[in-house]
Amino acid sequence: MFKKLGRNDECWCGSGIKYKKCHEVFDDKLAKLEREGHIIPSHDIIKTPKQIEKIKESCKINIAVLDYIAENIKAGMTTEEIDRMVYEKTTEMGGIPAPLDYEGYPKSVCVSINDIVCHGIPSEEEVIQDGDIVNVDCSTIYNGYFSDSSRMFCIGNVDPEMKKLVDVTKECVEKGLEQVKPWGFLGDMGQAVNDHAKANGFSVVREIGGHGVGLEFHEEPFVSYVTRKGTEMVMAPGMIFTIEPMINMGKADVYVDDEDDWTVFTADGSPSAQWEIMVLVTEDGYEVLCY
């Protein structure tokens, strides 16, 4: 697990407080859970109060950018216009779009329409149409700290079944959030998401999930939504991760575009929806940092 400090040593979290008055009880609880066979977070996954405050500053920009998109997105726009808006608003507020040049990704945002599950690359050729459902996934770096969230937008006259997909996907996030409790398990949240999606006749993408975030764009743990209650990593106070299930109207199978090696489509061409929030596990529950 990790090397335990002496009780009078300065705590590993950087608080400047003696270990016995800071994280000793916390570490003892993790050690007990590990002995019981559970997966526990390492210290580098646990965010300190100072880090959390810096991450929140990044989140404020990310939320403002998505609010700006919500005010302006409409039929007839190209996805490239969305990308320009995200870049300009993010940089105007002092941030950097995290996707830009991340592992070769060429744009500042992901815009995924209808049967695109995620990682849709903005283009001058792709025009948002009446009836589309659109996911805009924004991520921001501010003073070296990362934030990440996405929203769905229903454009004009959306088919009722597609609107239901969008609404149920948001409900899945809310159901999962209800299960975020200190010393619970990521699987508690995953099963709540999965159960609600399936109860409404939809399927859950298996290969892609949420992730830790804050000090890096993508951190441990991987957050799955096809897991069972009582399994996966312990949710310890100080953990920050995303809840971002990708819910398909048809089957759960997906594939990655061969040409750009980024865009993920549903295998059967059915619509897909995703909402993403960023959550901090607290001593008494959770705090939503970004949405």
Output the pLDDT for position 4.
74
Tell me the one-letter amino acid at 188: D
Per-residue confidence (pLDDT) for residue 1, from 0 to 100: 58
Closest CA to 118 of 89, 142, 152: 152
DSSP class of residue 216 equals S
Residues paired with 133 in a beta bridge: 154
Q: How far is CA 150 from the centre of its chain?
A: 8
d(CA 251, CA 273) in angstroms, rounded, equals: 13
Interior/surface letters 77-88, b for 16+ CB within 10 angstroms, e for the rest: bbbbbbbebbbe
Helix (H) or strand (E) holding 148: strand 145-154
| pTM listed for this prediction | 0.95
* CATH code of the region 39-290: 3.90.230.10
Per residue in 110-122, is it b (16+ CB within 10 Å) or e — as a string? bbbbbbbbbbbbb
Q: Omega before 122 cis (within 30°)?
A: no
Question: Which pLDDT value is given to residue 98?
Answer: 98
- Specify which residues 247 forms β-bridges with: 204, 273
Q: Burial of 265 by CB count in 10 Å (0-12 exposed, 13-18 middle, 19+ buried)?
A: buried
Task: Return the closest-CA partner of residue 283 out of 180, 186, 197, 201.
Answer: 180
Helix 160-178 and helix 186-199, axial crossing angle in degrees, nearest 10: 160
How crowded is residue 90: how many other Cβ atoms within 10 Å of its Cβ?
Answer: 26
- For residue 46 the two structure tokens come to 């646990």
Q: Which residues contact 279 (CB under 8 A, 6 or more apart)?
A: 177, 180, 240, 241, 242, 243, 286, 287, 288, 289
Q: What pLDDT tens digit does each residue of the chain (291 aa) get?
A: 567 789 999 999 988 999 999 999 999 999 999 999 999 999 999 999 999 999 999 999 999 999 999 999 999 999 999 999 999 999 999 999 999 999 999 999 999 999 999 999 999 999 999 999 999 999 999 999 999 999 999 999 999 999 999 999 999 999 999 999 999 999 999 999 999 999 999 999 999 999 999 999 999 999 999 999 999 999 999 999 999 999 999 999 999 999 999 999 999 999 999 999 999 999 999 999 999
